């Protein structure tokens, strides 16, 4: 198990701008003459409210049975499972408070920032796990998301997963069937043996 607190995530302004423009918002109208400068200042202010933390665990066969029972192979739709990496990334509570304070247009912009920043964070974490898998002669699958920022993507018992990962170490928990903080993502990657490919 590994825990990463307050890790640095690169800010990709172009990707954020592109996502915002797709939503139909004109940045020039919103940020005035010095659009680029004002936009970057706005993004930096939002990023300062994000406190990224992550925790992951590479769970082997015996542990999978313990967490999910004998039907784990059916659950993950794979015949040959040796290891699955489960990961949790959270942006903390402050960003949620910020989203509640702002108007609808700003909310679209902030959520675009959050989405792009999460994509970058997931890639960062997957690269680290992929290096571990590579050392053991495995290839990492694409991520399967179980929970994304308030939206459940699975019927899997997330509480079991969070307990297995000891996600409370990064202040992530389930309360009244809700994942807290809201801006949290939970996903897994299957390790595929190079020999079996």
pTM value?
Answer: 0.90
DSSP assignment string, the chain: -EEEES------HHHHHHHHHHTT--HHHHH-TTHHHHHHHHHHHHHTT---EEEEEEEEHHHHHHHH-TTHHHHHT-S--SEEEEEEEE--SHHHHHHHHS-HHHHHHHHHHHHHHHHHHHHHHHHHHHHHHHHTTEEEPPPEEEEETTEE---S-HHHHHHHHTGGGGT-EEETTEEESSSEEEEEEEEEEGGG-
What are the tens digits of pLDDT across the range 36-94? 999 999 999 999 999 999 999 998 877 877 777 766 666 666 656 788 999 999 999 99
Which residue would you say has higher pLDDT here, 107 or 147? 147
Average pLDDT, the chain: 88
CATH number of the domain encompassing residue 86: 3.40.109.40
Q: What is the pLDDT of residue 196?
A: 60
pLDDT at 5: 73
Q: Based on the structure, what is the number of domains in the chain?
A: 1
pLDDT of residue 71: 67
Instruction: Find the mean pLDDT for residues 7-23.
Output: 90
Span 98-104, mean pLDDT? 87
State the residue range of the domain holding 8: 2-196
pLDDT of residue 78: 61
Per-residue confidence band for 184, with pLDDT thresholds at 50, 70 and 90? very high
């Amino acid at each position: 198990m590994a825990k990463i607190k307050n890790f640095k995530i690169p800010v990709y302004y172009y990707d954020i701008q592109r996502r915002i423009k797709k939503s139909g918002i004109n940045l020039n109208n919103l940020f005035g003459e010095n659009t680029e400068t004002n936009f970057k200042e706005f993004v930096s202010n939002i990023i300062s409210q994000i406190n990224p933390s992550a925790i992951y665990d590479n769970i082997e066969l015996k542990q999978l049975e313990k967490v999910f029972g004998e039907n784990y192979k059916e659950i993950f739709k794979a015949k040959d499972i040796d290891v699955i990496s489960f990961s949790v990334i959270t942006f903390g509570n402050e960003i949620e408070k910020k989203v509640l304070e702002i108007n609808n247009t700003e909310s679209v912009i902030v959520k675009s920032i959050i989405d792009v920043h999460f994509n970058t964070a997931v890639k960062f974490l997957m690269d680290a796990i992929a290096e571990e898998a590579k050392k053991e002669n495995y290839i990492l699958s694409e991520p399967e998301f179980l929970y994304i920022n308030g939206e459940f993507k699975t019927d899997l018992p997330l509480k079991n997963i969070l307990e297995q990962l000891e996600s409370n170490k990064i202040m992530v928990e389930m309360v009244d069937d809700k994942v807290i903080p809201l801006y949290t993502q939970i996903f897994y990657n299957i390790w595929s043996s190079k020999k079996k490919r």
